[in-house]
């Protein structure tokens, strides 16, 4: 067991990635109960929902868990002309595809980060992780006063250094292979699509805090390989998408075993922020002209009715099917069983290396 795992109070150097919109309290609790670190993706949740989910997790396990937030400005002033254009395109698409919903103007484009952060502090998880930007030194201090371990997401050496200099306890290195939203904040996403096994040793050499590896790791062999390259733990997301505890849409889970790796691409047309996922019918229709669409979280809010309707209709081809590069290796197992299998694979690979 790594010293980092011991510090977190977990048995295995395994973290379930905080996939906002796809992680349930049951999934988080099951992974933590099995000896890993379950992570709640709370980027879309209002403050009370964060507190409620934390309570549900604690009802399922007494073991440590993490909560992840997206760092965003509290107040947004979108380009309303771009909003109007996006609504027109999305409404036309939904009409063509036979979905009986249309876009709406939400009361807020996203929950206020400052309110989410306050709820996270009140929930007091063992670990708080952050993506999309740095938090403030004051916020780092608030977390550490409560005994909460701080983990920042990085897609480059410069971003990892920024988190280390801020006082983070660890940095999660997101390789280009990772599914879901890119965490880049110092670079344009296309400038930080660095493969995990190239980036990992570079970051391990550049910072003195523990490094977590994320991106394309789907089995115990990948976890061991990441450890050899300097990781103190591995973070797996897509590997847990097919678990029954995951709240990913049924159509999305159905598509996972058939994902062809060359069709996992960077997409901006669902949320307005670069994310890795399956190039499906929606992406083919909407990605051309994406530069005219509003940025995250505005576009994410506008596409929400379409995504909900598509999930209800079983239309995976219209969903944001986020996934990592090796998605076809996902296994439909209960989360606790998957943790045990991953660690058996990890141990077997370690023995094979002698």
pTM value?
0.96
Give the Å distances, CA to CA, from 158 to 12, 112, 130, 154: 28, 27, 16, 8
Nearest CA-CA partner of 230 in 267, 251, 249, 202: 202
Domains of the chain are: 3-72+110-244+330-353 (3.20.20.70), 76-107+260-322 (no CATH)
Assign 325 a pLDDT band (cuts: 50, 70, 90): very high
Token duo for residue 31:
């992974």
Contact indicator for 140, 163 with CB cutoff of 8 Å: no
Only one residue has tokens 């000896």, namely 35
Give the Å distances, CA to CA, from 77 to 33, 44, 73, 110: 42, 19, 10, 12
pLDDT in tens, 98-123: 999 999 999 999 999 999 999 999 99
pLDDT in tens, 170-215: 999 999 999 999 999 999 988 999 999 999 999 999 999 999 999 9
pLDDT in tens, 11-59: 999 999 999 999 999 999 999 999 999 999 999 999 999 999 999 999 9
Say if residue 1's pLDDT is above 80. no
d(CA 58, CA 118): 19
Q: Which residues pair with 127 in a beta bridge?
A: 66, 149
Contact indicator for 337, 294 with CB cutoff of 8 Å: no
Lowest mean pLDDT, pick from 187-191, 223-227, 304-308: 187-191
């Amino acid at each position: 067991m790594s010293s980092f795992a011991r510090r977190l109070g977990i048995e295995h150097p395994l973290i379930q990635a905080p996939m906002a919109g796809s992680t349930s309290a049951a999934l988080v609790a099951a992974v933590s109960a099995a000896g890993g670190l379950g992570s709640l993706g709370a980027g879309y949740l209002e403050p009370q929902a964060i507190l409620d989910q934390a309570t549900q997790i604690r009802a399922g396990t007494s073991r440590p868990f993490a909560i992840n937030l997206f760092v965003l400005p509290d107040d947004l002033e979108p380009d309303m002309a771009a909003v109007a254009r996006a609504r027109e395109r999305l409404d036309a698409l939904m009409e063509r595809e036979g979905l009986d919903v249309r876009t709406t103007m939400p009361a807020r484009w996203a929950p206020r980060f400052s309110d989410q952060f306050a709820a996270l502090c009140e929930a007091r998880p063992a670990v708080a992780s952050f993506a999309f930007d740095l938090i403030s030194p004051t916020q780092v201090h608030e977390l550490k006063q409560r005994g909460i371990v701080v983990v920042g997401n990085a897609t480059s050496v410069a971003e990892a250094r920024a988190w280390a200099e801020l006082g983070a306890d660890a940095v999660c290195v997101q390789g280009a292979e990772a599914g879901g939203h890119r965490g880049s904040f110092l670079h344009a996403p296309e400038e930080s699509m660095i493969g995990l096994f190239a980036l990992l040793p570079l970051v391990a050499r550049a910072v003195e805090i523990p490094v977590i590896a994320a991106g394309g790791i789907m089995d115990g062999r990948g976890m061991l390989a990441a450890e050899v390259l300097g990781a103190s733990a591995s973070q797996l997301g897509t590997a847990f998408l097919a678990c029954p505890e995951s709240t990913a849409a049924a159509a999305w889970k159905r598509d996972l075993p058939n994902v062809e790796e060359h069709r996992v691409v960077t997409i901006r047309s669902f949320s307005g922020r670069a994310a890795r996922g399956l190039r499906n019918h929606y992406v083919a229709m909407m990605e051309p002209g994406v530069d005219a669409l509003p940025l995250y979280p505005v576009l994410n809010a506008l596409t929400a009715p379409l995504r909900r309707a598509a999930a209800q209709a079983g239309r995976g081809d219209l969903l944001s099917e986020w996934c990592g590069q090796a998605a076809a290796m996902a296994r439909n197992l209960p989360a606790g069983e998957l943790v045990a299998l991953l660690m058996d694979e990890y141990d077997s690979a370690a023995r094979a290396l002698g």
